[in-house]
Structure formats: structure tokens, C-alpha cells
Amino acid sequence: MKSWFAQHLHSLKIAGQRFRDTPLATVFTMLVIGVAVALPAAFYVLLGNLERVSGGIKPQAEITVFLKNGVSETQGRALLASLSRNPDVNNARFVAKTEGVRRLEASGLAEIAAGLPENPLPHAFILTPQVQDAAALEKLGSLLRNMAETDRVLMDSDWIKRLGALMNLGHELVLMLAVILGLALAAITANTIRLQIYAQKDEIEVARLIGATDRFIRRPFLYFGGIQGLAGGLAGWLLVTLGGWLVQGSVNRVAVAYGAHFELTGLDLASSLLLLAVSALLGWLGAFFAVGQTLRDVETF
């Protein structure tokens, strides 16, 4: 066991020495890996904050029922009173055709409203359902459509479905971006390791002549790849954290303009540790595949 620890400690020292031998190239490689890691992480953080914003908005669907032109205001109000007793209806409000014209005038269409020979707007009422379940909303909508007095029914619950679909699309895009840039991270590490092996070809041949095994030769490169991936992941985490800190002021100004307060949240502890672990693993995998192939190429020289 002491021998095993000694061998791995020796490999770690060699990996650290290689970092010290090429500090500038190492820093640039870490920054490239950090950018590759930061992009999907930043989109993940953005989606998380958008979900917090949308979660704070209670999706209260409304149903607007337009009555037929032949229905009088008295009939409409009586029908509304009957619907208000429905357990699926939370709130109901009658909108007379005269109120509809006043709304047109208030919205800047007074000239158009004044030019109409008669009021073409129907009576209507707006219902707020007690339930928000899609099936229950559809059942209530069918009940309203089948009434003899109903001309048209509008349900504004579709935006809830669209928001959910957009969020799901965002998560899929983040996953796809993470996979693509993860492969890029592994490729960057593999290329760095390959160049190091070719630069140390003579040292590797001498080590083999004195009895060093491929496992012994491979181990420092694997440590180098893992540490490089870990360092790149840390650089990516710092970029995401710094970016969130820089845009917090702008977010505060937008929130104040809407009379709200919103604090951006970054990566939590579990997500940060997962980011670093995946970065280190991808760096190690890139080194693993590069070392095996490149060492076989070195043997042919």
C-alpha cells in the first residue's frame, strides 16, 4: 500500500512539474476549458432564474364569454349569476356592451367608436376558474360553449402551456450544449496531452529501456488531464459567478422599474461540485484516450 501511494504521489509531482514548465500555455488552456464549461453553466443558471420568475407568477387563467347579439343585459346578468354558483368558477364579472365602448375610447380609439352608427359589441363576462388543471378547464370551457346564449369563448390559459414548452426546450438546449462543449473539453485535453507526449518522446523511450511500464508512464498524464479539467471547471465557475455579479445591478434596475425586487441566484453547492467533478472527469477521459493512442504511435518511431 505504501508503494502504491508513493507511485501516485510521484505521478502527481510530475504532473505539477509539467504545469510549472508551461505556465502560459496552461493558463490559456484553462481559460479555453473554462469558457467551454461556463457557457452551458450560464444557460443553466439563466433558466433557473427564469423559472423562479415564472414561478412567482401564479398562472391564473381567465375565460371570456361573448354573448350573442340578441341576448339582453338582463338575461346576461341572470346567466352570470347562475354561473357564479358553479363550484368550478372562482370569480365572475359582467362586461356590458356600453363598457366595451368606453374601453375602446380609453384606449385611444375614441374617433372610431364615435363613428360607429350603433354599438356592435356584444355583452360578455369574464370568469376566473377555481381550478387550473387543463382537463378541468377544458370541461368548463365546453360547458360555456354549449350554452344557447354563447357566441364565442376565449380561454387565455394557452400561455401557460407555451411557457412550459419553452422551459422544456431551454433545458434540452442546455443539455445539448453541455454535451457538445463537454466533448470539446475532452478534445482540448487530449490534444494537450498528445503534444506533451510527442515533446517528451525521448524521455519516454529511455524510461521504457530501464523497465518502466506503460501504466507508470501513463499515470502522470492522466493526473495532468484530470487536474487541468478541474482547473478549467473552476475557471468556468468563476466566470459564471463573476458574470452574475456584473449583471445584478442591471437586473435590479429592471426589477425596480416593474416595482419588484429580484436577486439573481448562481450555482448552488451541489451544482458547483457536480460542475467541477464532471470537468475533472472529462479532462481525465480526454487524457486516457489520448495517452493510449499516442503511446502506441511513439512506439513506431
* CATH architecture observed for domain 63-156: 2-Layer Sandwich (3.30)
Within the chain, all domains assigned CATH 3.30.70.3040 are found at 63-156
pLDDT reported for residue 10: 65
Inter-helix orientation angle 23-56/214-257, to 10° = 40
pLDDT reported for residue 60: 60
Burial class from Cβ neighbours inside 10 Å (0-12, 13-18, 19+) for residue 224 reads buried
pLDDT reported for residue 234: 92
Beta bridge partners of 95: 124
pLDDT reported for residue 133: 63
pLDDT reported for residue 301: 46
pLDDT reported for residue 161: 65
Residue 139, all three cell numbers: 370541461
* Ramachandran category for residue 290: left, alpha or beta (phi over 0 → left; psi -120 to 50 → alpha): alpha
Low-confidence ranges of the chain (pLDDT < 70): 1-8, 10-11, 53-61, 97-121, 131-135, 156-161, 163-164, 199-200, 202-208, 211-214, 258-261, 294-301
Beta bridge partners of 89: 129
